[in-house]
């Protein structure tokens, strides 16, 4: 049924929202901006056969295939396949203001690897 199909699709590997709020760990006294950011995370199944949009590697396809006949071998993992940077403005240990670009802070895409 459409309902089941929807549920099944939602269980598959995809990107989920994850907002990191710096004030939750009381870091907002030294991080000037941003107050927090949307980091996202990857979660979900990597079922056999792997769909094209799951950005799988050849190895992930082979591993998933082996898993379908031998469950001792785990399925491929749902992981970030594309990440982007964020800039942060903060005061360092010496009270100096720093604007820095940090790579691989935001998940842009997930896939089975």
Partner 1 sequence: ERSHASLIPEEGKSRAPTGLPAAAHRQSHELLRDFETTLLHMFGLQRRPRPSRSAVVPQYLLDLYRLQSGEAEEAGAASATAGPHDAGFEYPERSTSRANTVRGFHHEEHLEQLPLEGSAAGESSSPSFRFLFNLSSIPEEELLSTAELRIYRERVDEEEEETGGDEDLHRINVYEILKAPHASQLITRLLDTRLVRHNSTRWESFDVSPAVLRWTRERLPNHGLAVEVLHVGGASSPHQGRHVRVSRSLHQKPGEDWGQLRPLLVTFGHDGKGHPLTRRAKR
Report if residue 92 touches partner 1, rule: CB under 8 A.
yes
Binding segment for partner 1 (CB under 8 A), chosen from 8-16, 54-62, 63-71, 84-92, is 84-92
Distance (Å, whole) CA 54 – CA 95: 45
# residues near partner 1 by CB under 8 A: 28
Out of 6, 7, 11, 33, the residue judged to bind partner 1 by CB under 8 A: 33
Using CB under 8 A as the binding rule, whether residue 17 contacts partner 1 is answered as: no
Signed CA dihedral, 52, 54, 58, 61: sign only? negative
Using DSSP, state whether 22 is helix, strand or coil: helix
């Amino acid at each position: 049924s459409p309902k089941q199909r929807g549920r099944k699709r939602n269980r598959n590997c995809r990107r989920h929202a994850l907002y990191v709020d710096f004030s939750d760990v009381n870091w907002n006294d030294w991080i000037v901006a941003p107050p927090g950011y949307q980091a996202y995370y990857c979660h979900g199944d990597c079922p056999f056969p792997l769909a094209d949009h799951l950005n799988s590697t050849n190895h992930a396809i082979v591993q998933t295939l082996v898993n379908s006949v031998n469950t001792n071998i785990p399925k491929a993992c749902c992981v970030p396949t594309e990440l982007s940077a964020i800039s942060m403005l903060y005061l360092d240990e010496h009270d100096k203001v720093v604007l820095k670009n940090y790579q691989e802070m935001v998940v842009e895409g997930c896939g089975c690897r």
